[in-house]
Structure 1
Amino acid sequence: MKVGFIGLGNVGGKLAGSLLRNGIDLVVHDLDPALVTAFTGRGAEAGADPAAMMRACDVVITCLPNPAASAAVVEAMLPAVRPGKTWVEMSTTDADEIIRLGAEIHARGGRAVECPVSGGCHRAETGNISIFAGGDRAGVEHVMPLLTRLGRRILHTGPLGTASKLKVMTNYLANANLLALCEALVTMKAAGLDMATTYEAIRISSGTSFVHETESQLILSGSRNVNFTMDLIQKDIGLFQKLADDHGVPLEISPLMISIMTDGQRRYGTRAQSDRIIERLDEATGLAVLAPGFPLELVDDEPEEQGYEVHAARPAAAE
């Protein structure tokens, strides 16, 4: 299976690296030629443009920063789509756009599968990230050999569009947790608590979470560089808010989160690292929420293993 990969940014570059590391015949493309050169130096082939990549490859994966970018790339590929060709969308994007573009692919005889990932850049780099796979069962099974090299746990979520909805939901929850952690850490600092002890108290308690065990470390070290920027946070929670609005759900926390991130962007820059949001509270209190011994970057120390499919638990049918 010859695979094309379009979008070699923070997440895409690490996912493409997992394919290359696992011996996949890989063609890559990005608007930044330096990123392409780094991959060709490791044995990948440079793709000329999206249409050429769809013609040359069995599967083309996209991992792009926003729905508009994904739409532009897929529309450029459409003339080259025919039976036997597959598009895999690994961007975090709008479910309605996935469904629309997937219909265009299907109309030309191709397959479309959405596969957004969750777990952080450090796990994308080691192939230990989780993958939500949306699409018909045959399409998901067709790309499963690639997914089990890209990630550790793969969940088939249902028809096209379901994976994107679940992905923006998980990013909404992660950002809510980040904002709550910022308030918790600054409040404990103000109350005179040791920050390393505070970190451990959260870690071993009912208050712990994946976000705490990863991003709190970067906050306390002063790095505040989680490889995820405020503009991407805004895109994701905006998509979640849109989903709620479309279904008449009167959210209360979500609009506040959007407002807080908007203020963070105004203060620190549109593409500031998302963990810098704690600095709003640092500035308001005059406190430095730091502790020695925490890492400047996250490293996934789990060994890379073949991925596998997981299934939703369902109660046994009544006899």
Structure 2
Amino acid sequence: MEVGFIGLGNVGGKLAGSLLRNGISLTVSDLKPDLVVDFTARGAQVAESTAALMRDCDVVITCLPSPAASAAVMNEMLPEVRPGKIWLEMSTTDEAEIRRLAALVEEKGGTAVDCPVSGGCHRADTGNISIFAGCDRATFEQVLPLLTRLGRRVLHTGPVGTASTLKVMTNYLATANLLTCCEALVTMKAAGMDLATTYEAMKISSGTSFVHETESQLILNGSRDVSFTMDLILKDIGLFQEIAERNDVPLELSPMVIDIMKDGQKRYGERANTDDIIRRLEEATGLSILADGFPAELVDDEPEEPGYEVFPPGAERPVAAE
């Protein structure tokens, strides 16, 4: 199987690296030449254009920063789509937009899957990230062997668009959790608690979470380098709010989360790391939320394992998966 990959940024570069590490024949494309050079040094081929990538590969994966970027790339590739071609959209995007683009691909005889990832850059780097896949069951079974080389846990979510819907929901939850972790850490500091002890109390209690066990460490170290920026998270939580509005759900916390992150972006820059949001409370209180013994960057210390499909409770498992 010849695989093409477009978008070698923080997440895409690590996903593409997992393909190379697992012996997949890979051709890459990115607007930043230095990223492409790095991959050629590791054994990847370079696409002469995105259209050529679709022409020459069986599967083309995109992992791009916005729905507009994905649409622009697909418009370039669309003339080369034909029966047998598969497009895997691993960007975090709008479910209505992925359905629109998927329809264009299908009109040309190709197949589209929306399959965003979740779990952080450090897990993308080790192949231990989780993947949602939206497509029909037959297509899912066709691409599952490839997805299990990219990630550990793979969930078939339903038709095209369902994976993207769930993905922006998870990013909303992660952002809301980040804000509550920031409030907890600053409040405990103000109350005179040791922050390393506070971190451990949160970790071993009912108050723990994936966000706390990862991003709180970066906050306490002071690096705050989570490799995810405010412009991207505002895109994602904005998409979640749009889903709620389209379905007449009167959310209360979501607009507040958006307003807080917008204020953080205004203060610290469009491309500031999302964990910089704690600075709002540091500045308001005059407190420094730092502690010794925490890492400057996240490293996945779990060994890489073969990926596998996961199933919702009560789901009927296909015979092939038993």
Q: Which amino acid aligns with 1:267?
A: R
Aligned length: 316
Q: Which amino acid aligns with 1:93?
A: T
Give a deviation string over 1:197-221, Cα, whole Å, max 9, x none: 0000000100000000000000001
Aligned match of 2:60: 60
Q: CA RMSD in A?
A: 0.8
Q: Does 1:124 align with 2:159?
A: no
Distance 2:314 2:195 in 1: 41
TM-score (norm 2): 0.97
Aligned match of 1:187: 187
Distance 1:109 1:197 in 2: 58
Alpha-carbon distance, 1:138 to partner: 1.5
Aligned match of 2:107: 107
* Partner-residue secondary structure (3-state), 1:178: helix
* Partner-residue secondary structure (3-state), 1:256: helix
Distance 1:140 1:116 in 2: 14
* Partner-residue secondary structure (3-state), 1:93: coil
Alpha-carbon distance, 1:315 to partner: 7.7
TM-score (norm 1): 0.98
Could you tell me the percent identity over the aligned residues? 73
Aligned match of 2:139: 139
Alpha-carbon distance, 1:139 to partner: 1.4
Distance 2:59 2:259 in 1: 39
Distance 1:142 1:54 in 2: 18
Aligned match of 1:154: 154
Distance 2:311 2:228 in 1: 28
Distance 1:33 1:260 in 2: 35
Aligned match of 2:303: 303
Aligned match of 1:251: 251
Q: Which amino acid aligns with 2:69?
A: A
Aligned match of 2:319: none
Distance 2:43 2:204 in 1: 44
Structure 1 segments of 4 or more deviating over 3 A?
none
Aligned match of 1:38: 38
Give the unaligned 5+ runs of structure 2.
Answer: 317-322
Give the unaligned 5+ runs of structure 1.
Answer: none
Give a deviation string over 1:235-281, Cα, whole Å, max 9, x none: 00000000001001111111111111111011100010000000000
Distance 1:15 1:273 in 2: 21
Q: Which amino acid aligns with 2:99?
A: I
Aligned match of 2:286: 286
Distance 1:213 1:278 in 2: 16
Q: Which amino acid aligns with 2:235?
A: K
* Partner-residue secondary structure (3-state), 1:4: strand
Q: Which amino acid aligns with 2:279?
A: E
Q: Does 1:90 align with 2:90?
A: yes
* Partner-residue secondary structure (3-state), 2:132: strand
Alpha-carbon distance, 1:145 to partner: 1.1
* Partner-residue secondary structure (3-state), 1:314: coil
